[in-house]
Structure 1
Amino acid sequence: MIAALTLGLTVGTAALPLGATEKGTEDPVQAEAAVPADADALTPEERKLLEQRDENLTELRAAATDAEAAQKALESLESDLAGLKDEQEELESSLQKTTARRTELDRRVADGQERLTALNQRQIVLRRSLIDRRAVLAEVLAGLQRIGRDPPPALLISPDDALSSVRSAILLGAVVPEIRSETDALVRDLDELARLRKSIATERTELAAALEDNDRESERLAALVTEKLELQEESERRLELERKRAASLAERSGELESVIASLEAEITRQREAALAARRAEEERKQRIAEQLERAHKLALAKLPEKNRIAPAYAFSALKGTLYYPVRGETLRYFGAADGSGHGLSGELVATGQGSTVSAPVDGWVVFAGGFRSYGQTLIIDAGDKYHLVLAGLDRISVAEGQFVLAGEPVATMGPTRMAGAAALTLATDKPTLYIEFRKDGKAVDPRPWWRDGASQGRASNDT
């Protein structure tokens, strides 16, 4: 089971979903090379996904390290537990041998006690025998004492003394041999009893010492057995905890692999979407470039399409391609002071009397006529929500609702300048044309639409 857990925690198991090919063995922790070389082209969503992927990879590295440490800990605990079991078996075997030795010592003590009991009984028998013959022995001993103290004369004796001597001799002759025999037997028995007592005492002392040693050994072995059992229980508890930890790491590793795989899929999807968007943007830019190129060619050709009734191109795509509607000198630009404390909403161009004014772009005439102090005014709808205002004209040659082409004559300039406040502040008496571009009803700077380096107006428009 431990080996299976370790295999499940190995980082290499996540290699395929983390970017490795089916034939490769790339480590997913090292799969960060999947980040595109052009990191600046990443979208914020892709960067966030990559950061999440990197965080999960870091956590997966830590899980792999923890799994390796857990595997080593499990192996160490299993080895220690096996050693403890072996030691426990050895201790139990030693304890059994000690118990058997204690049994043998107890048997020897019991045998000694039986021999001592038999000797005590023998001693009692001998004592009783001596007690039973105590009177005879006392008389004999008394006689012996008298003989020893006052020996009878060998020749000169009285009749009484002779009779006593004879009686003593007869008594001694009858009793002494028996007493001698009994004494010899008693001496032998007493010597044997003394030897046995001494032997039993010695054996009892040795057995007591052996029993004491055996008891100490039994206590030591019992303590060791208890200690080893406690160590075994602690090791088993730690082993169970490590197994649970390894299982938790395996589960966490699987979750991280799943999350990283989903992040990789999301990153791939984001990249494909971003790539498709970039391609679409490039195609759009290419189309706009092609339209601008066609607009440039059309503007350079100066040949309007007579049958067209709508602008050829979107007005916003014509920046940098338009000619001024009249030849002259630009006196005021967009944003300059208009003489009333405000910024000018268009441009003022000084030109010659009778100069022809041409339409800068294709469009519909939405207004043609006098307007306040601006004189004759022409407003052209250029499409794309843009309108062009031409004011300060003398005579308009087109009517409202008419469609005009770029470069088509639409009016002529008069002999005097426009009467507007901005024109009155100019230090010139030349006729002035006011040009204003409007987008969604608001004035915009017309300069981005004029062709760079081009002359204001066309040579053919001069009078």
Structure 2
Amino acid sequence: MIRRAAFVFSLGLWAGTAVAETDPAEAARAAAQMLEDASIALSEAESARDRVRALTDTVQAFEAGLAAMRDGLRRASVREGQIAAQLKARESEVSQLLGVLQTIETSPPPVLLLHPSGPLGAARSAMMVAEVTPALKAQVDRLSHDLEEVRTLRELQQSAAETLQEGLAGIQQARADLSQAIADRTDLPRRFTEDPVRTAILVSSTETLDGFASGLAEIAEGEIAETSADISALKGELPLPVQGVLLRKAGQADAAGVTRSGILIATRPRALVSAPTASTIRYRGPLLDLGNVVILEPQPDLLIVLSGLQEVYGNAGEVIPAGSPVGLMGGANQEIGAILSTSGDGSGTERSETLYIEVREGDSPVDPETWFQTDKDG
């Protein structure tokens, strides 16, 4: 049921995006429905057999719904501004139209039907009115449609606050439930058990990511089980572990002139980070100046390093399936005002957090874009 719901959410997001291009109001309504469906999925997740998977789908559904709502409301606000500008530009035309309509409505029928030139003049006048009436009606219809659209857009924006409040409360609850479900999970296979003392020694004695990666085998108690996992067929096809946009490519200098071997993804605050493919968690925790780090091993001699998370999930040695949550990005929980605001106008300024992704083959880093799809916005 939950997987089906997640599929519906994906379709809903796609459809909402398509609709948003032509109808901002309908896009916002579709987003509101997505948030309502996510709330239903959250209640269903309580009884799901795989609660982690169900709650992961639910968190992602809330994220998609909130993103779609933000986009829909932004488009609605922009559309309202466009109509207002058009009406202002046509102010004199509209005033004349209203004046004509008012004259027609207030003139008694006999005055409209009689003509000073007699029956022939009345006939000619009637022919002229017959020609003008369709154009006049078309103007009235256009004006009525514009005014009705403005009214609809304003009502939509006024009613959005309650929907957003429920959606924000829902995603916070879903994140909390997900964190607890992961802590309670005991059915994952393990390739090794981490030795916390050895891990602490390695972390404290490491000065570079290269050095830490080469010493990962030292943090296990005993041997690390062999694996025949092979994801070479997925090269270039892995999804990004978080919804976001590519901010900096590998080797591209930042504002301080520093270059790194990985890519930087801009995300929204508290975005969920998931494993792009089935992997072994080789390490999770703080490391160097990278903040909280999760290091995944999808196959022998291949490591995916994810850094910059605020919270990390799972335990070193666990083998997790594709799509499993591995952490949350930092930042403050979104406020209604920030979502309703049109500042930034879709430029990405609302994506205040950054996830650093590095891929290592053997002992050397490689361009992550050889493994990940980075050509789509999240």
> TM (normalized to structure 2)?
0.34
Larger radius of gyration: 1
The structure richer in helix per residue is: 1
> TM (normalized to structure 1)?
0.28
